[in-house]
């Protein structure tokens, strides 16, 4: 039967060693933490039934995996934006060629106004 803590909620079972590092040998790193963060880390590790080191490894791995997704998403966003710009330019050149120079000038004006470029 699970142990009940924190206002009557059941304590989760001990966290297994998750991630790609579970069967690898470890390298030693030292990290300095502020007291409040260290206290939170110790409390959460105790609550989860794992060591603070396990929790730190999981947090670092989740962060780095999230960065991979973020970079992929950013690249997709840039590609979609470039596609839209090419498509709009083609439409403007075909259907509204007399407006193209005005639109380019307005774009430059807005870039300076909003982005300092």
**117 has a pLDDT exceeding 80:** no
| pLDDT for the residue numbered 76 | 86
Tell me, rounded to whole angstroms, the distance of Cα 102 from its chain centroid.
39
**How confident is residue 4, by pLDDT bands cut at 50, 70 and 90?**
very low
Question: Are residues 37 and 45 in contact, defined by beta-carbon separation less than 8 angstroms?
Answer: no
For the chain, what are the domain ranges? 34-115
**How confident is residue 2, by pLDDT bands cut at 50, 70 and 90?**
very low
Instruction: Show contacts of 76-85: CB within 8 Å, 24+ apart.
Output: none
pLDDT tens for each residue of 20-75: 556 577 788 898 999 999 999 999 999 999 999 999 999 999 888 888 877 778 88
| pLDDT for the residue numbered 53 | 93
Give dist(CA 18, CA 15) in Å, integer: 8
Give dist(CA 54, CA 40) in Å, integer: 14
- Mean pLDDT across the stretch 65-92? 88
Give dist(CA 57, CA 3) in Å, integer: 25
């Amino acid at each position: 039967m699970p142990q009940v803590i924190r206002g009557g909620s059941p304590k989760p079972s001990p966290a297994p060693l998750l991630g790609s590092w579970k069967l690898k040998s470890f390298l030693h790193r030292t990290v300095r933490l502020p007291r409040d963060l260290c206290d939170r880390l110790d409390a959460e590790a105790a609550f989860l039934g794992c060591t603070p080191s396990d929790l730190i490894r999981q947090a670092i791995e989740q962060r780095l995996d999230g960065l991979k997704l973020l970079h992929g998403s950013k690249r997709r966003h840039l590609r979609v934006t470039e596609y839209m710009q090419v498509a709009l330019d083609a439409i403007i050149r075909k259907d509204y060629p007399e407006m193209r120079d005005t639109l380019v000038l307005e774009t430059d004006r807005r870039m300076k106004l909003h982005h300092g470029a």
